Amino acid sequence: MDWQNVVGMLIWTAASAVLLVVLMWLDSFFTKYNDMAEIKQGNVAVTTRFVMKLFSQGYILSQSIIKSNDLLHALQASVISFVILVIIEWIVRLFLRKAADLNLDQGTKQGKVAHALVAGSLHVVGALILGACL
């Protein structure tokens, strides 16, 4: 490994970290509660969902990096995947609310880890599928 590879790794890692922060910040607009405030208060359900979503976004980003030699292309694929995940999660949450009277956001905010696991698993499964499609 030469210095050019090390510099490249640093650039890709820094760009990826910035993108992950931005995506998680954008994601906070789609929840009915403040992730950071709930995490600071010790809400394990919100923390569980947050970690699962962060892992999902990281996985998608890692798959886009593996399959791309172009940093901008990899970041773009991650952003598009994020949008797809948000849309799919919204549809599934709506379906669960109507069909099963299950409000994932409300339950997660109330500290119900089961709700958080269901909400987070939507992202993990979506990430696995999207990662395979890249």
- Could you report the per-residue pLDDT of 8-63, keeping only the tens digit for each? 899 999 999 999 999 999 988 888 899 999 999 999 999 999 999 999 999 999 99
User: Which has the closest alpha carbon to 23: 49, 53, 65?
Assistant: 53
pLDDT at position 106: 95
Cα(51)–Cα(25) distance, rounded to whole angstroms? 13
Q: Given this model, what pLDDT does residue 55 score?
A: 96
The encoded tokens of residue 90 equal 């919204």
Phi, psi of 103 (to 5 degrees): -100, 100
Q: Which residue has the tokens 């890709």?
A: 12
Tell which wins on pLDDT, 1 or 115. Answer: 115
pLDDT of residue 98: 96
Specify the length of the chain in residues.
Answer: 134
> Given this model, what pLDDT does residue 69 score?
83
**In the prediction, which pLDDT does 29 show?**
86
Contact of 89 with 119, CB cutoff 8 Å = yes
Report pLDDT digits (tens) over 71-105. Answer: 999 999 999 999 999 999 899 999 999 999 999 99
